[in-house]
Amino acid sequence: MTESDWQADMLRRLSAQPTPPDQPQDPSPPQHSEQPPHDSSPPPAPQPPSQRQPAQQPQDPQPYQPQYQQPQPQPQPYEGEQSPRAEWGRQTRDDGESVFDRFRRVASEAAYLVGGSGRLQHDVDLIATCRRPIGITRHVGVTSPVVNGGASTVTALLATTLAAQRADRVLAVDVDPGGAELSRRLELTRGSGAIEGANLVRSDPTVPALRSTLAAAQSQGARDVGLAVVDCPGTMFDEIATEMANTGHCTVLVVPSVPHLAAYCLQQLDQLAPAGQDVLLNRGVVVITVVDSSTAGTARWLSDAFRERGLDSVVVPYDPHIAGAWPLHSSELETGTRRAVLELAARVVGIVTGTAS
């Protein structure tokens, strides 16, 4: 048999045999007896089934994540709360008040508080001045260029205000026992004593008697009495007024706002000697009393006239209680009157505490 016949016979036998069924594959990889012609390195050693890595399953592609940070969510209004509508030039707050309305309200409140607090601070400063300590008794004379010019009323107001603010005693000296105008302003009945804090004493209208009265009032010590306010009778050219101007620590000059009396008072002041003018400029306080509401214009004219002469006056406004009350009650004075008298008291204490003994 030739070689070609043998090969043909083998092919017929193979085609005549049935195809064997599929067999499960061996988990172990087949052993190759020969190495691939292109790789000369030895094959890796087979691993046991427990150490084999599981086959990686294909993963779904991940979505693209941006590198920048996402913006924070804006706060949402509470339930039931509506965001205010902002108009051009009229921004609205949460309470419904616009910025312009709030500015107008704050400005008006500030103006009120500044005015009120300014007056209050001024009153506090005046009270602090009235309470300055005084080591030795200071003497204050109250006089007027004309008779019945209001010196007794101003003396009563001044002494009462000082006594209300000071811890030491304040004397109100009545040097006109006959007229007793000061006593009537301070006492309910003759000799009953002042109804308010000032201590009322009387003296004969002579210089020796006045000196003795002031010395006797200090019997408990010089620090017992802080101020002695002397109601000088007559005019500023009389004996008592001259004594107080020369030896006292302060002089209060009272000028009424009656037109013809105001002009006369200015003439008298212009005729003062240089020494008398020096007393008013350095140790004097001018008080203008408005005796009637119709004379307020005269009071302003007097105030300007004294200012031209270098004197800053204190104006005591018209007060119905002063016009008809005997004696005076400080609690019934009007607010403007109390402030004016407090201003006068502070000026007096400021002068006497700055005066050498």
Q: What is the pLDDT of residues 75-134, one digit of tens each?
A: 555 554 444 444 444 454 555 667 667 766 666 665 555 555 667 888 899 999 999 999
Write the pLDDT tens digit of every residue in 277-333: 999 999 999 999 999 888 889 999 999 999 999 999 999 999 999 998 788 999 999
Reported as a single tens digit per residue, the pLDDT across 141-178 is 999 999 989 999 999 999 999 999 999 999 999 998 77
Question: In this predicted structure, what is the pLDDT of residue 88?
Answer: 46
pLDDT per residue over 247-285, tens digit each? 999 999 999 999 999 999 999 999 888 988 999 999 999
- How many CB atoms sit inside 10 A of residue 201's CB? 17
Helix/strand/coil for 92: strand
Distance CA 40, CA 214 (A): 140
Report the distance separating Cα 269 and Cα 265, nearest Å. Answer: 6
Beta bridge partners of 83: none
- Residue range 41-62: average pLDDT? 53
For residues 84-112, one letter each, b for 16 or more C-beta atoms within 10 angstroms of the residue's C-beta and e for the rest, the string is: eeeeeeeebeeeeebeeeeeeeeeeeeee
Burial class (CB in 10 A: 0-12, 13-18, 19+), 245: buried
pLDDT confidence of residue 44: 55
pLDDT in tens, 202-244: 999 999 999 999 999 887 666 789 999 999 998 999 999 999 9
Residue type, 355: T
pLDDT at 217: 84
CATH for 137-353 is 3.40.50.300
Instruction: Identify which has the larger pLDDT, 191 or 128.
Output: 128
Position 196 scores a pLDDT of 84
Q: Is the pLDDT of residue 8 over 80?
A: no
Examine the pLDDT at 18 and tell me if it is beyond 80: no
Q: What is the pTM of this model?
A: 0.67
Q: Are 347 and 127 in contact (CB under 8 A)?
A: no
pLDDT of residue 27: 47
pLDDT score at 199: 92
Predicted confidence at residue 357, as pLDDT, reads 41
Task: Report d(CA 353, CA 357) in Å as an integer.
Answer: 9
